[in-house]
Amino acid sequence: AQSVTQPDIHITVSEGASLELRCNYSYGATPYLFWYVQSPGQGLQLLLKYFSGDTLVQGIKGFEAEFKRSQSSFNLRKPSVHWSDAAEYFCAVGATGGFKTIFGAGTRLFVKA
């Protein structure tokens, strides 16, 4: 069955520290992979996507993610976190993406001063 697992329900990091949010997926073929962010009071916003090619993808707001087929992972990283990055982050997977994309349960990021 297709699924997405985000092992961490919430994570707290200090401002300026590096960040890595974990995502593991189960999918029969090479998937389309996505990361979304939901800031308080806002809708989900697409941060980045992976379809094929270079396994390290760059997104908006200084985020990047690396696709590792051998580990079925697509972890999100940022070298230096800002207080405004506090939000909920969702990993997602799909055959072609689009409206039937499968979402993980989310990881809530807290940033401390």
Partner 1 sequence: NAGVMQNPRHLVRRRGQEARLRCSPMKGHSHVYWYRQLPEEGLKFMVYLQKENIIDESGMPKERFSAEFPKEGPSILRIQQVVRGDSAAYFCASSFDRSPTNEKLFFGSGTQLSVL
The nearer residue to partner 1, 9 or 113, going by C-beta atoms, is 9
The conformation of residue 30, written as its DSSP 8-state character, comes to P
Shortest Cβ 4–partner 1 spacing (Å):
6
Shortest Cβ 36–partner 1 spacing (Å):
8
Please give the residue ranges that form the binding site for partner 1 (CB under 8 A): 4, 9, 32, 34, 38, 41-46, 49, 90, 92, 97-106
Longest alpha-carbon distance in the chain? 42
The nearer residue to partner 1, 42 or 70, going by C-beta atoms, is 42
Integer Cα distance of 77 and 19 in angstroms: 5
Count of CB atoms situated within 10 Å of the CB of 19: 17
What sign has the CA pseudo-torsion 109, 59, 71, 15? negative
Shortest Cβ 98–partner 1 spacing (Å):
6
The nearer residue to partner 1, 15 or 49, going by C-beta atoms, is 49
Q: Are strands 32-38 and 24-26 parallel, antiparallel or unpaired?
A: unpaired
The nearer residue to partner 1, 10 or 112, going by C-beta atoms, is 10
